[in-house]
Amino acid sequence: MFISEYPHLGEIKDKSLEDYLTTCDFTGFSATESSFLFDELLENYYSDRRMMYSGDAPKQLRKLIAEILNSEVKTEKVSIFDPVAMSGSLLLTMKEKFQSKVELYGEEFSSDIFRLSKMNMLVHGIDTQTIHDNFVRGDFLKDEELDANSKFDIIPMIPPFSRHWDANPELLNDPCFSEVGVLPPKSKADYAYVLRGLQHLSEDGTMAVMLPTGALFRSAAEGEIRKYLLEKQNIHAVISLPQGARNYMAIYTVLLIFKQKKSDKILFIDASRDGVKNATRLKQNFLTEEGFAKILHTYRNREEVDRYSRLVSLDGIRENDYNLNIPRYIDTFSEKKIDVEATMSSLSAKQKVIEKSNKEMIELLNKLDTPEARQAIKAVSISE
């Protein structure tokens, strides 16, 4: 698993990983202990091989998505499908956080990472038959492995940002894109994932997709797709996250929540300022504990909080030409209160210092008694 299928490991000069795997006796561990160790192994491996695994989300973000989607579940049994399963960690977090009985489904494009996801599922106690039946290797954008009619209650998704894809014009005959009338640009498949995900979302389902903030305001084809989604009232909430919330990417990201049932208003939440630096991975930010809890409380109650969240009608979105950029709807500018008396007192004190300095400088120049000194004295006098 870690040698024949992962040539990348051979590039790691430090053999501690190999030593760890070959000397540690796993047979004495419980399933819970083994799954914890595997999670830690993956987390550290992502750190070493971030180019390979940058698609997986950090633990905190996985928990946030799981908590948000868990609040939408009203049934005892729920089907959860991750179209970009990566190592399967997001699905397993959903299983841990959901109170309902869950059925997990996943799809992963990379054959190497698909093997890893199956191993991860096995370590976390998912039975082999479920893994065989419910997890497939394939490209979700091509929708080759799934029945077009298959529906899921919950779809969490963290697709690769602005992935290049084959935007073949023939895809306009695909029901996924035909109603929209345009295809996402070849250089940015972000909305291709969104539209394909909605195709597989059940009537009462909810989908959470993490995208770069550019998806909120880019124009041309993406603008048309955004207009389509807004007019269908599929977008339920827009939540901005701190810069670097996704592993190793010092960019701003947004979590879009979609529903098949129409949402009268869109909830905007600006949590972009609630981040704290990761001490070991400088490009990554965490949400503060207060920021994490505030997002969940605001989302679940759909509250409006000054300079933090706002409910916006479709008419308000239309007025902004279907642009979802959060500053258009939430005023984050904070007016600084000025103490007039303190400011005047400070200016007066500074003026006295300037006058004293000028007087001392003129006295020094007088002692020199040169043409240059007299010219300088004249210049100081004029400035006063």
Check residues 256 and 99 and name the one with the higher pLDDT.
Answer: 256
Q: Are residues 172 and 320 in the same domain?
A: yes
CATH (domain of 113): 3.40.50.150
Q: In terms of domains, do 359 and 315 share one?
A: no
The tally of CA atoms less than 13 A away on the side-chain side of residue 67 is 15
With respect to residue 5, please indicate whether it lies within any of the assigned structural domains.
no
Specify whether 187 is located in the same domain as 252: yes
Model pLDDT for residues 290-344, shown as the tens digit of each residue: 999 999 999 999 999 999 999 999 999 999 999 999 999 998 765 556 677 778 8
Q: Is residue 294 part of a domain?
A: yes
Q: Are residues 220 and 321 in the same domain?
A: yes
* pLDDT, tens digit (0-9, with 9 covering 90-100), for 141-200: 987 777 778 999 999 999 988 899 999 999 999 999 999 999 999 999 999 999 999 999
Phi-psi category of 383—alpha, beta or left, where left has phi over 0 and alpha has psi -120 to 50? alpha
The model's confidence at residue 15, banded by pLDDT at 50, 70 and 90, is low
Residue 7 in domain: no
Write out pLDDT tens, residues 30-56: 666 666 667 666 666 555 444 444 456
What domain range includes position 358?
Answer: 340-383
DSSP string, 185-226: -TT--HHHHHHHHHHTEEEEEEEEEEEEGGGGT--HHHHHHH
Would 25 be classed as within a structural domain?
Answer: no
Helices 340-368 and 371-383: crossing angle, nearest 10°? 160
Q: Is residue 50 part of a domain?
A: no
User: Are 256 and 240 a contacting pair, CB within 8 Å?
Assistant: no
The answer on 268 and 161 residing in a single domain is yes
Identify the pLDDT of residue 143: 79
Residue 8 has pLDDT above 80, yes or no: no
Distance CA 20, CA 2 (A): 12
Closest by alpha carbon to 321, among 219, 189, 212, 190? 219
Whether 185 and 222 have beta carbons less than 8 Å apart is answered as: yes
Q: Which amino acid is at 285?
A: N
Q: How far is CA 378 from CA 41, 361, 384, in A?
A: 75, 12, 10
Of the listed ranges 43-52, 261-270, 271-280, the one predicted with least confidence:
43-52
pLDDT of residue 115 exceeding 90: no
88 in a domain, yes or no?
yes
